[in-house]
Structure 1
Amino acid sequence: MNISGNTVFIPGATSGIGLALALELQARGNTVIVGGRRVELLERIAAEHPGIDTVRIDTADAASIDSAAKEVLAKHPGLNVLVTMAGIMRIEDWHRPESFLASAESIVTTNVLGPIRLIAAFVEHLQAQPDATIMTVSSGLAFAPLKVTPSYNASKAAIHMLSESIRLQLADTTVKIVELEPPAVRTALLPGQEESEFAVPLEEYVAEVIALIEAQPDAKEIQVERVKFLRYAEARGDYDQVVQTLNASDPHGE
């Protein structure tokens, strides 16, 4: 992915990593469209950051995705980058189904069906562009599990394998598949995570991501240094120790 000169749509970017990435990409000379559910946040972003376009989208709702895609493409026919940022994370107790089933279903809808539906809505358009990118968002927890978030871990493992698979299928097109793999970052993904000393400060994380995209435009996976502890545990042969360390330290995964 080139660091500048793109038209980028980031659904799920009204806060956290998504918004910080949107602002940095705009600063690097990209046209950026931010998507989210809450109209008041979209209006605030548009007012505070001139030049950023916004669109309401609920990535848990197939009809909303279709409607937003039509709106984005009508206003920005040169769109060539889709970042499937939207996601949710919840603590679950799998001893009792009444305590986790609704959560698990919601996570799968948002974190797995959401990106699948987004890609389906844009992939034909992207294939018609001379240079296009789909950036998926998995997690370090796709590679080593945090015991309190089973459905989130599984959803991100699914995104990793989805990314690997569609990269193979779309190899004969102009569309690149890039997988962003965050570690724990100081955002509101879980209660208390914004203050967690084990999580990477948001500004530090996004700065490293931007530097990696700029230095490695052909990268298949964007991995900051902090995520490699989780990402390569199995390859290093210390998977059991990594899982033990992960679950003995911070409840947010680092």
Structure 2
Amino acid sequence: MNSTGNTILVTGSTSGIGLGLALRLHKAGNTIIIAGRRKALLDKIVSEHPGIESVLLDVCDPHSIQRTSEALAVSHPNLNVLINNAGIMQWEDLTEPKNLSTAEAIVTTNLLGTIRMVYAFIPQLIKQPSATIINVSSALAFVPLPATPTYSATKAAVHSFTQSLRVQLEASPVEVIELAPPGVRTTLLGQENDEHAMPLDEFLDEIFELFEISPTPQELIVERAKPLRFAEASGSHNEILNMLAGYKPPAE
């Protein structure tokens, strides 16, 4: 992926990793379109960062995705990078039937949202001389956090989907990249002050060092995420899984 001169759509970009990526990519000389469901928050970010654009988008709604893809094909025909970052993460007790609706919402957002975005935007991306799809998975795609089973499962599915997408687009101008973060200090699951999570700026610094590698690695894995990413190969999967099993939701 070229580091500058792109037109980039970032979903889930009103906070956390998505907003961090958007701001740094904008500073690097790219046209950035942030996307989210809350217009007031989008407007606030745009007003604070002149040059950034926004679009209302709900990745849980296939009609919203289709409308957005059709509108951007007209307003931004040079759009050549899609970053599928939108996602939700919730604690789940699988013995409680009431949590099924939570699980279904996670699947709709994290997995179906990513798949629907890819289907909607490939027709535009494939027309570009050079284009990129970045799907954000998680280190938990490789060793699950048992207290967040559906989140971990959706990220494993995003990893698998991204591999297949890369193979299918191999002969096209579209490169496919997976970004698999470790725990990062964001509002996701209330990790803002979690001393075990990676500071957001440190995470972004390392990711942008990886962006500078040519060609861009197919998987963007920071050092903190490598123990989980390569747990199966190193033989440490069960050890790490048992460690993560001790990580419990905070008492209400």
TM-score (norm 1): 0.96
Matched residue SS, 1:34: strand
Map of 2:95 onto structure 1: 95
Map of 2:17 onto structure 1: 17
Q: Which runs of 4+ in 1 moved over 6 A?
A: none
Give matches, 1:67-216, under 5 Å.
Answer: 67-98=67-98, 100-191=99-190, 193-216=191-214
Report how far residue 216 of structure 1 moved: 4.2
> What is the CA–CA distance in structure 2 between the aligned matches of 1:44 and 1:74, rounded to whole Å?
25
1:6 aligns with 2:6: yes
Matched residue SS, 1:171: coil
> What is the CA–CA distance in structure 2 between the aligned matches of 1:216 and 1:142, rounded to whole Å?
25
Map of 1:43 onto structure 2: 43
Letter in 2 for 1:122: F
1:28 aligns with 2:28: yes
Indicate if the aligned counterparts of 2:141 and 2:152 stay in contact, CA closer than 8 A: yes
Change (3 A) 1:235 1:158: same
5+ residue gaps in structure 2?
Answer: none
Indicate if the aligned counterparts of 1:198 and 1:250 stay in contact, CA closer than 8 A: no
State the identity %: 49
Letter in 1 for 2:163: E
CA offsets 1:124-176 (integer angstroms, 9 cap, x no match): 11111111000001000000011110000000000000000111111110111
Letter in 2 for 1:224: V
Matched residue SS, 2:189: coil
Indicate if the aligned counterparts of 2:210 and 2:216 stay in contact, CA closer than 8 A: no
Map of 1:60 onto structure 2: 60
Structure 1 stretch displaced more, 125-134 or 65-74:
65-74
Report how far residue 59 of structure 1 moved: 0.4
Indicate if the aligned counterparts of 2:147 and 2:247 stay in contact, CA closer than 8 A: no
Indicate if the aligned counterparts of 1:11 and 1:86 stay in contact, CA closer than 8 A: yes
> What is the CA–CA distance in structure 1 between the aligned matches of 2:53 and 2:178, rounded to whole Å?
24
> What is the CA–CA distance in structure 1 between the aligned matches of 2:120 and 2:155, rounded to whole Å?
20
Report how far residue 251 of structure 1 moved: 5.7
Indicate if the aligned counterparts of 1:89 and 1:149 stay in contact, CA closer than 8 A: yes
Count of matched residue positions in the alignment of Structure 1 and Structure 2: 250
Structure 1 stretch displaced more, 106-115 or 65-74:
65-74
Map of 2:242 onto structure 1: 244
Matched residue SS, 1:135: strand
5+ residue gaps in structure 1?
Answer: none
Structure 1 stretch displaced more, 216-225 or 123-132:
216-225
Report how far residue 247 of structure 1 moved: 2.8
> What is the CA–CA distance in structure 1 between the aligned matches of 2:7 and 2:165, rounded to whole Å?
22
Give matches, 1:215-230, under 5 Å.
Answer: 215-230=213-228
Change (3 A) 1:232 1:250: farther
Report how far residue 248 of structure 1 moved: 2.9
